[in-house]
Amino acid sequence: MAETKSVPKWLPYAGYPAFFLAAVVLFAHLTLPYGAIEAKLTDQARANGYQLSMVSFGPSLLFGATAKGVKLSVLKPTASAGADAAAPDDALYLDSVRVRPGLFPPGLHFSVAAFGGSLDGYVANRGKDGISLSAQGSAELARAALKPLLGVDMQGKVNLAADLSVNTKDFAKTTGTVKLTGKDVVLNGGTVKYIDLPKASLGSVNLKVKAEKGKATLDAFEISGGDIEAKGSGDVALSSRWNASTLQTSFDFKPADAWLKKNSFIQTGLAMAGHANSEGFYTATVNGLLLNPRANLKR
Bin 237: left if φ > 0, else alpha if -120 < ψ < 50, else beta.
Answer: beta
d(CA 166, CA 174) in angstroms, rounded, equals 5
More confident residue, 117 or 30: 117
CA-wise closest residue to 297 among 244, 19, 68, 287 = 287
**Res. 16: pLDDT tops 80:** no
pLDDT at res. 144? 81
d(CA 188, CA 205) in angstroms, rounded, equals 16
CA-wise closest residue to 70 among 90, 86, 55, 89 = 55
Binning pLDDT at 50, 70 and 90, where does residue 20 land?
very low
Those residues whose C-beta lies under 8 Å from the C-beta of residue 128, and which sit 6 or more positions away, are 169
d(CA 95, CA 118) in angstroms, rounded, equals 10
Average pLDDT over residues 257-274: 86
DSSP alpha helices (H): ranges in 118-221?
A: 147-150
pLDDT at res. 158? 96
Question: Please, are residues 167 and 176 in contact by the beta-carbon 8 Å criterion?
Answer: no
The domain limits of the chain are 13-102, 113-299
CA-wise closest residue to 266 among 251, 278, 254, 249 = 254
Q: What is the pLDDT of residues 211-238, one digit of tens each?
A: 998 999 999 999 999 999 999 999 999 9
Those residues whose C-beta lies under 8 Å from the C-beta of residue 205, and which sit 6 or more positions away, are 158, 180, 181, 182, 185, 222, 223
More confident residue, 299 or 279: 279
pLDDT at res. 159? 97
DSSP 8-state symbol, 298: -
pTM of the model: 0.76
Q: What is the pLDDT of residues 128-171, one digit of tens each?
A: 778 999 999 999 998 887 776 677 889 999 999 999 998 888 88
Average pLDDT over residues 183-205: 87
